[in-house]
C-alpha cells in the first residue's frame, strides 16, 4: 500500500487575545479548527494559507510569520498530515461572503474558551499551534521558499 502524506496549511489569527476559529461539520458533529486546508496544485504554501482563511472565514489576512511545521497522524483514519502553520493579522472582513461547504461559522475565541471546548477540537493541533504562537517568536516568512 502506498503512503501519501497530505500537505495542509493553517493560520493563527489573533486579535485582542481572541483567535479566529471555524466551526465545521465533520463526521456528523460540529468541530472547531483554525482556518486550514489542503495545498492545491501549483499553489504556494503562503497563497494556500491566505486562500483557505478567506474561504473559510471571510477574512482577508496578511501573513506575519511561520508558527511551526507539524506532523500529525489522525487516529480516526490513520492519515498523516504535514501542517504548515502561519501567523497572520486580520485586515478586512467580508460578512457577505459565502463560506466553504461544511463551514458553519467563523468565530473569535480566547484560549480559555477553546480549552473549555476541547471535546470539540478537530485535533490537538489547534492548541499546539496557539501555544506555540503565544510562546513565540514566529519564524520569518522567508524560511518558506516558493
Domain definitions of the chain by residue range: 6-143
Q: Please determine, for residue 77, whether its predicted confidence score (pLDDT) is greater than 80.
A: yes
pLDDT mean over 72-91: 92
DSSP symbols for 25-78: EETTEEEEE-SEEEPPTT--HHHHHHHHHHHHHSEEEEEEEEEEEEEEE-TTT-
CATH class of 6-143: alpha beta
Q: What is the pTM of this model?
A: 0.94
Reported as a pLDDT band with limits 50, 70 and 90, residue 27 is: confident
Amino acid at each position: 500500500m502506498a503512503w501519501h502524506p497530505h500537505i495542509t496549511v493553517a493560520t493563527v489569527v489573533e486579535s485582542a487575545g481572541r483567535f479566529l476559529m471555524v466551526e465545521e461539520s465533520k463526521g456528523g458533529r460540529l468541530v472547531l479548527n483554525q482556518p486550514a486546508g489542503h495545498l492545491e496544485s501549483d499553489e504556494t504554501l503562503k497563497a494556500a494559507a491566505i486562500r483557505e482563511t478567506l474561504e473559510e472565514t471571510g477574512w482577508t489576512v496578511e501573513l506575519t510569520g511561520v508558527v511551526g511545521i507539524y506532523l500529525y497522524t489522525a487516529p480516526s483514519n490513520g492519515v498523516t498530515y504535514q501542517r504548515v502553520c502561519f501567523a497572520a493579522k486580520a485586515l478586512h472582513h467580508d460578512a457577505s461572503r459565502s463560506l466553504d461547504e461544511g463551514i458553519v461559522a467563523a468565530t473569535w475565541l480566547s484560549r480559555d474558551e477553546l480549552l473549555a471546548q476541547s471535546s470539540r477540537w478537530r485535533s490537538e493541533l489547534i492548541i499546539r499551534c496557539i501555544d506555540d504562537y503565544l510562546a513565540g517568536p514566529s519564524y520569518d516568512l522567508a524560511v518558506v521558499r516558493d
